[in-house]
Chains A and B, each alone.
Chain A
Amino acid sequence: MAPHYEQTRDAANAALLTDLSTLLTSEEHTDLKIKLGDRVWNVHKAIVCARSDFFAKACKGDFKEAKDGVVEIHDDYPEVIDKMIHYIYKTEYSESDTELAPVLFNVRMVAAAEKYFVKFLAALAVSKLDYFISNVGTAWGSKDFADAIAEAYTTTHDSDRELRDTLLQMVVAHADMLFRKEFTEFAHFQDMAAKTPSFSAEVAALLAKPLEISPILNIYYCPGDDCRESFRSAITDGQRVKWTCDYCGWEDEDDYSWWQSYKIAELPVVEAT
């Protein structure tokens, strides 16, 4: 059994969450309005600004929002913003009551989380997405899945690997079906792939025939001053690598652990099937 104080603490944490969601529904003490089209959310600066850097910046300083106590946002989906605000108060949201397919909804949630810098929301949305497409057997073949990929590649930034990798994993697993022209039911997907070259390029890279010994090719950037040139190397512990930069002319040789401080990214390991 957990010690007594832990039980007390857990109960208190639960009460805090309940109180926060009551605040949201009761709209008591609100001091900020968030407007989107004709929808308005009455919220609390203290809570929203603490959870989102966007609102924090908007409410401070000399801008109009700070004076008016109104933040009018644009280009967003009302139901996504609504769930985002729920999340801000409750650390969770449910997409079951939306009209949108969960896969599309969650991609939009990732985009909103990134745009408004809501902590941990993107990660939650990605894992919900992952859960959905992994557990609904036919999800990968749906039209919504193709639309979700299109949105993911245009409304989130390139370095958001989690979302992309989740989607890519599913695509690669079913690539032999999805990309086959004879299967006209996937025409919508194939059309999307044709219009989203950055997605197609990533799929192609993943489908390329794996090397005999599959090394982990990591990306390193040039240690030369101010040089942002990068290169790939399969260096492993105990090895040394010499590299000459074509861009700035920097040249040196050093061991694995030294190079680790210049590593940019680790590529996902592609299992050879």
Chain B
Amino acid sequence: MDFEQTWAILASAFTQIHEKQASKLSFEELYRNAYKIVLKKKGDELYLRVAEFERDWLSSEIERRIHKELPPQLMNALQGRSSAGSVGDDQVRTQGERFLRQLKLAWEDHQTCMSMLTDVLMYMDRVYCADTRRPSIFTTAMSLFRDCILRSHVRGDDSWPDICGTLNHVILDQIRMERDGDFIDKHLIKANVYMLEGLYDSHHEVEEEKLYLTSFEYEFLASSAEFYRALGDRLLKESDAGQYCRETRKRIDEENDRCRSTLLESTTPKIQKVVEDELIRYRMKDLIESESGVRFMITNERHDDLALVFDLEARVDPRKPELTKALQKIILEMGTNLNDAAQLGAAAEAPEDRAKAPADKLVNQQTVAALKWVEDVLELKDKFDAMWKQSFQSDQTIHTAIMRSSAEFINSHPRCAEYMSLFIDDNMKKGIKGKTELEIEALLNKAIVLLRYVQEKDVFELYYKKHLGKRLLMGRSLSIDVEKQMIFRMKMELGNNFTAKLEGMFKDMTLSEELTAGYKGYVARLGDADPRRIDLAINVLTSMTWPVETTNSAPDDARESRLKTIYPPAMERIRQGFENYYKEKYSGRMLDWKGNMGTVDVKVTFPKVPSKGFKERRHELNVSTYAMLILLLFNDLPSGASLSLEEIQARTNIPTNELVRNLQSLAVAPKTRILLKEPMSKDVKDTDKFFFNEGFMGKFHKVKIGIVSAGNRIENDRERVETEKKNNDSRGYAIEAAVVRIMKQRKELSHQQLVTETITQLNSQFKPDVNMIKKRIESLIEREYLERIEDSPSSSYRYLA
């Protein structure tokens, strides 16, 4: 066998294969010749000859075909693209496509031919290459394509990029056109991408060295970053934030599609990151804070746009820091506005109107402002809740942010606890009238949600007790059922401790009803069926459960309160009667009668006043117990006689401030002037004289004589100072109790740890003041509950059992 002769047969056949004229060739003949060469141990030579043959073919014929498609003006256009596009897009595009088509063709031909050659050379591949560990001839031929074609320079000019670089430029140029809205031949690009994917940077065929990665993808990502940076600049300047978001979404989707249809899917996450970086991550702050940003969207209820902002930021950071920050800022601002408005509503009219408007009216205005504040807070909360569901996919991070900022502005209102309690009070008295069960349910829920925000739960409890007490005693609650539901909810939310006393109040009310009924029966059984007997309805209140102001008289009258109120004999009899009955049932209990809390229906006959043409009139007056005592004094007085304030006080022992208040409602309030005062003025002085007003004329048979400040309304300054003082006292006790509890368990503890644990324990009730904790610790040391540990590095305490 002659090698050269055999090779000549093969070489001529290979040429025909490359020229696509293989159909006359016999596979067997070619195979047999190659087989014989290898069998004669000339595999090495055959291998080299084939490689040489391919090299020649590629660098003459194929290279010529490719280079022909790269005229100088295309090369210049591709190079000069960044500075000035002198050649028309259309021409560049057509020429580029022709180049892509030619390259695609060359690559596909090369693969087809080499696959045929590989078949013919199967024996060489399997025997010679395997024995000598050479790469298969196919692999070698692919590398040759890379070296001879992709690494060649057009017309041998090194100043221009090689074919591979040119290919990148052409593809990137086409992608640029598509990004600008043109249609391009995606399949054509994809075919070339597959070529880059099939070739490696060197003969080490490792995944990371695919030409697609080393040559193309890097440039694609870099040029994309540049493109989107510029686009971001432009969009921020020219579009509003909503448009920006929509455009960004569109661009991300487009890049995904492009990877699928034109490039490779493995690029998807990388290009996404580029777009996300350029259009979202680096821009989010500017976008959110722009004029048409989140504030604008919230004000104008652009829920879809907000959802887009959320969606975009969530892509780059699950914590959504910019959106969260913006939301918090906006909520805080809106909340602070509400707080300011409430303060303005409560205070603005006060100074100038004080002279004219009665104090009552002012207080009412303030109460209205307080209620409005709560309503506004609820509305704000609803707005953001709706937004949270609609636009923010009920996201946990956003929820926390909304909660936090809401809590912050609500608690920054110094009287939030009082306002919330007033709000519930108002609803219990009026709000729930005519509402369905479902609506009431929603209302209760709202109240509880608000309550959750209030930090000073103890202050709230104080007010709630006070307001609830008045509602219960004055029968102002529309539904005890709803009241109980509210308590139940508070119990679920804040625990047993919080509601124990409130529940006690309800228990007292029930017991009192039983007592009243029981007493009625008791009296009936006594057989003392006095037709003029006075009906008695009684409420027995446990002194520790109810708010102090209901069970105690005003504290500044400490001396007077110890004096026993003098009841007229008829009343005294009933009082004794009930006390006897009560002591029979519960021995060893002290009953303390509260004249300031009760009301009495009094039948009054006003005589004829001929001078005014008045007939005799009968009225049923509903007055406070104290007012009744005052009125009864006038029963024994001849017509036209008067009593001074001092005289009244001497005969009744009513505490001064209560007396003044009752006299004001009896003698000053224009519609219920049962008494006349001399001199006629608003203030009540010790020396004033009071007459029975025989000329009283009421429109209705029944007249209710309210007592100033009887209803639940906002506290005045003096009352608030009192409430604060009371609250501080009870906080002091709570702190001491917590400290003792902790120390009893831990025996020894450093100061810092003790303070931290105390704060943790009390957190659900209120946020304790560190200074207060310090003072309480000092006090406990003085009282020898604790002692300082002398030689300890940090200040520490020991529990003294």
Contact = CB atoms under 8 A, between A and B. Distances in A.
Interface of A: 53-54, 57-58, 60-67, 71-75, 115, 117, 154-155, 157-159, 221, 228
Max count, chain A CB within 10 A of own CB: residue among B27, B35, B130, B131 = B27
B27 A64 contact: yes
A208 to B, nearest CB: 24
B119 A67 contact: no
B357 interface: no
The 3 nearest A-B residue pairs measured at CB: A63-B27, A57-B119, A62-B22
B22 A63 contact: yes
Interface residues of B, number: 27
A186 to B, nearest CB: 28
B206 to A, nearest CB: 13
A61 B26 contact: no
A54 B122 contact: yes
A53 B32 contact: no
B22 A73 contact: no
16 contacts: A54-B31, A57-B27, A57-B31, A58-B27, A58-B28, A63-B27, A64-B25, A67-B23, A71-B28, A74-B29, A74-B32, A115-B35, A154-B39, A157-B127, A157-B131, A159-B127
Given A155-B39, A221-B133, A61 B116 contact: yes
Nearest to B21: A62
Given A157-B127, A158-B131, A65 B122 contact: no
Contacts of A58: 27-28, 31
A131 B255 CA distance: 68
B205 to A, nearest CB: 13
Chain B at the A interface: SS class = helix
A64 B23 CA distance: 5
A64 B28 CA distance: 9
Nearest to B38: A157
Given A74-B32, A158-B131, A117 B126 contact: yes
B532 interface: no
Interface of B: 17, 22-29, 31-32, 35, 38-39, 41, 115-116, 119-120, 122-123, 126-127, 130-133
Nearest to A72: B28
Contacts of B35: 115
B131 A159 contact: yes
A30 to B, nearest CB: 18
Contacts of B123: 115
Contacts, number: 65
Nearest to B116: A61
A2 to B, nearest CB: 39
Contacts of A67: 23
B26 A63 contact: yes
A228 B132 contact: yes
Contacts of B126: 117
Nearest to B119: A57
Contacts of A62: 17, 22-23, 116
Max count, chain B CB within 10 A of own CB: residue among A61, A155, A228 = A61
Contacts of A64: 23-27
Nearest to A65: B27
B133 A228 contact: yes
Contacts of B17: 62
B23 A63 contact: yes
Contacts of A157: 38-39, 127, 131
B122 A57 contact: yes
Nearest to B23: A62
Nearest to B134: A228
A71 B27 CA distance: 8
Contacts of A66: 27
B25 A63 contact: yes
Contacts of A61: 22, 27, 115-116, 119
Contacts of B26: 63-65, 72
Nearest to B29: A74
Nearest to A57: B119
B447 to A, nearest CB: 74
Contacts of B115: 61
A75 B32 contact: yes
Contacts of B130: 159
B23 to A, nearest CB: 5
A171 B467 CA distance: 118
A221 B122 CA distance: 25
A65 B127 contact: no
Nearest to B126: A117
A168 B29 CA distance: 33
A86 to B, nearest CB: 21
Contact of B28 (A73, A117, A154): A73
A2 B9 CA distance: 59
A78 B266 CA distance: 55
A65 B32 contact: no
B156 to A, nearest CB: 29
Contacts of B127: 157, 159
A242 to B, nearest CB: 23
B42 to A, nearest CB: 12
Given A58-B28, A228-B133, 12 more contacts: A54-B122, A57-B119, A57-B122, A61-B115, A62-B116, A63-B116, A74-B29, A115-B35, A157-B38, A158-B131, A159-B131, A228-B132
A71 B126 CA distance: 21
Contacts of B116: 61-63
B38 to A, nearest CB: 7
A159 B39 CA distance: 11
A113 B133 CA distance: 22
B130 to A, nearest CB: 8
B722 to A, nearest CB: 89
B368 to A, nearest CB: 89
Contacts of B132: 228
A140 to B, nearest CB: 26
B306 to A, nearest CB: 59
Contacts of A74: 28-29, 32
A51 B119 CA distance: 16
A118 to B, nearest CB: 13
Contacts of A60: 119
A115 B34 CA distance: 11
Max count, chain B CB within 10 A of own CB: residue among A65, A66, A71, A221 = A65
A75 B120 CA distance: 17
Contacts of A228: 132-133
Contacts of B31: 54, 57-58
A154 B39 CA distance: 7
A58 B28 CA distance: 7
Contacts of B131: 157-159
Nearest to B22: A62
B244 to A, nearest CB: 53
Max count, chain A CB within 10 A of own CB: residue among B28, B35, B115, B132 = B28
A53 B122 contact: yes
B246 to A, nearest CB: 53
Contacts of A75: 32
A1 to B, nearest CB: 45
A196 to B, nearest CB: 14
Nearest to A73: B28
Contacts of A115: 35, 123
A73 B27 CA distance: 10
B762 to A, nearest CB: 67
A262 to B, nearest CB: 11
A221 B134 CA distance: 13
B607 to A, nearest CB: 121
B291 to A, nearest CB: 62
B357 to A, nearest CB: 100
A68 B24 CA distance: 10
Nearest to B133: A228
Nearest to B127: A157
Nearest to B30: A63
Contacts of A54: 31, 122
Contacts of A63: 22-23, 25-27, 116
A64 B13 CA distance: 12
